[in-house]
Amino acid sequence: MNPGRRDFLKFSGAALVASAYPFTGTRAADDIYRGHAMGMWEDPKHGPDFTHFDWVNPDAPKGGEIVQHAVGSFDSFNGFTLKGDSAPTGSIESLMTTNTDESNSEYGLLAESVAFPKDRSWVEFTLRAEARWHDGQPVTVEDAIFSLEILKTKGHPQYRFYYKNVLRGEKTGERTVRFIFDTANNRELPLITGQLPVLPKHYWESRDFEKTTLEPPLGSGPYRVESFDTGRSVTLVRVDDYWGRDLPVNRGQNNPDRIRYDYYRDRTVAFEAFKAGAYDFRHELTSSQWATGYDVPAIRSGEMKRETISHSRPTGMQCFVYNTRREKFQDPALREALAYAFDFEWSNKNLFYGIYERPKSFFENSELASTGLPSAEELKILEPMRGTIPDRVFTDEYQPPVTDGSGTPRANLRKGLDILRNAGWKITGGKLIDPKSGKPLEIEFLLSSPAFERIVLPFTKNLERLGVTSTVRTVDSAQYQNRMDSFDFDVTTDVFGQSSSPGNEQRDFWGSEAADRPGGRNTIGIKDPAIDKLVDLVIAAQTWEDLVTRCRALDRVLLWHHFVIPQWASTSFNIAWWNKFGRPEKTPKYEIGFTSWWVDPALAAKLKKSGG
């Protein structure tokens, strides 16, 4: 976990899509929808009179302190620029917020209501009169307009891309702001705009927004920075007079009085610290640790708990990513062939304890994932592109290579070698020779954690059998981020997270415009007009059926380009915690729901007495 500026990238990757008309609000004679929430293809789950989300305990007690962890370091509290690694502040809020028990709605946070026309050419928010910054000043329309402008002009390049279809904000009333779009009938734009983080104009006007800073910024949220030790820890404290404490979207959440984040240099050190009781809660991402690392006295005594929770969210695609900006990876035959050297079956059995499954789609674990051959509706989209997309889109179902699990996939390596030879590659003196450059192929795997080396090293040994010289380069989090921001890598691991309703963020993942934008999410470097067209079709989908068809068509084309080597996926969360918490009976469908947990004084006292 690293709760810094890159959280935006994950958040916007789960962008929502507005429906033609959500029916929870009202549709006036002027054909304008007005309501407390926006839905996707159906009503938001909760009506205008709801008092709290149904996965929280609305009467959860407040108090206590929790300690969480982050891997890496931080040198800034400004999480909105490309520079630096930022720490959490707990103080920045958006116009609307999501319900993690439904994938397709937004509810008012800073905004009490939302309005937009049938063609979705603009969206208007009415701000809550009670919304306040921590200095007591009201959150204003001017703040919302300023936020859009400064994020697009001086913020992380990702904001400029994400909000590029939002032309401007206009004040339409004392508490109403209207955002004008450069296009009509983009179903997603009202909800994208609802995600806008609102920043205080009066604070930032006298500061350099583009610089890193260790001055905790002014915010409006439930917490503020109380203290910090640069690069080591940051402590957030509850804002006693937080204006939004009793909002329906907040009830039962934000329960501890203090939240401290401790930073560790790598995941292994962080895990040992957890077992020693240094922090309270852990979302376990390493399968071997989950399988064998929790056989400790605290588990047996009940002082530590652990649980596997199934979830319903799309898993997307975790994968090895080729940097196709580099000439050696522009040959799709090479990209396909190297995938035959990765033995997932052996890794899953020997390294992952059989926990994982192999993803076969960029929209894995969702209805949007392609299966079999293209449907008749998909072919209507794909046939006009024949000749500009891989031929096998039409003839074969995509399946990543499967091995016998021996660790030495001889049949697969022979297949990979056949592909290479047919494409003009040769092995000379035990080295795979690039037919264009005449040089041996060399690959560097860029990693951010030593824990990943145990997975990559067996892969590199199999690559050696194909004549590929490969090295593993593990760097600290700051170096890794800098290299990724400038696309300075051969092969790395990336995760293309998806929501159940893909939209504008697909341009960030696959769009030509995003390929050379520093800090962007098109890590592969895709520049392909056919893919651009498919992405545009996804964004322009007007019905759920259209969205499914278009996502599946896009999925097939991406897969058959062999831009990535699929790694693994899980449809559950593995969590562990020291037994000091109370929690609601229900867990939301798409997240762990830790924001709804609370410190139980009796359990905390018992744990402290036992030394846990």
Provide the strand spans (E) within 182-310. 197-198, 223-229, 233-238, 258-264, 281-284, 304-310
Residue 146: alpha-carbon gap to chain centroid: 26
For residues 310 and 570, give the distance between their C-alpha atoms in angstroms, rounded to a whole number: 9
For residues 234 and 305, give the distance between their C-alpha atoms in angstroms, rounded to a whole number: 26
Residue 24 has pLDDT above 70, yes or no: no
Residue 27 has pLDDT above 60, yes or no: no
Question: Does domain 317-566 fall into CATH 3.10.105.10?
Answer: yes
Question: Whole-prediction pTM value?
Answer: 0.85
pLDDT per residue as tens digits for the range 346-396: 999 999 999 999 999 999 999 999 999 999 999 999 999 999 999 999 999
CA-based nearest residue to 148, from 178, 127, 126, 174: 178
Q: What φ, ψ does residue 23 adopt, rounded to 5°? A: -105, 5
pLDDT of residue 499: 87
Residue 21 has pLDDT above 70, yes or no: no
For residues 106 and 116, give the distance between their C-alpha atoms in angstroms, rounded to a whole number: 14
Question: For 231-240, 280-289, 499-508, 565-574, which range has the lowest pLDDT when averaged over its residues?
Answer: 499-508
Question: For 2-6, 122-126, 310-314, 586-590, which range has the lowest pLDDT when averaged over its residues?
Answer: 2-6
pLDDT of residue 31: 86
pLDDT of residue 600: 97
For residues 11 and 390, give the distance between their C-alpha atoms in angstroms, rounded to a whole number: 31
DSSP element (H, E) containing 300 = helix 297-301
Q: What φ, ψ does residue 548 adopt, rounded to 5°? A: -60, -50
Band (323; pLDDT cuts 50, 70, 90):
very high
Span(s) in the chain for CATH 3.40.190.10: 1-13+54-92+135-176+196-311+579-612
pLDDT per residue as tens digits for the range 94-144: 999 999 999 879 999 999 999 999 999 999 999 999 999 999 999 999 999
Summary mean pLDDT of the chain: 93
Residue 262 has pLDDT above 50, yes or no: yes
CA-based nearest residue to 361, from 371, 351, 375, 373: 371
pLDDT of residue 186: 87
Span(s) in the chain for CATH 3.10.105.10: 317-566
pLDDT of residue 11: 33
For the residues of 469-518, what is the DSSP string, one character each?
Answer: EEEEEE--HHHHHHHHHTT--SEEEEEE---SS--THHHHHH-GGGTTST
The arithmetic mean of pLDDT across residues 321-330, rounded, is 98
Residue 40 has pLDDT above 80, yes or no: no
pLDDT per residue as tens digits for the range 276-303: 999 999 999 999 999 999 999 999 999 9
pLDDT of residue 15: 34
Name the class of domain 1-13+54-92+135-176+196-311+579-612: alpha beta
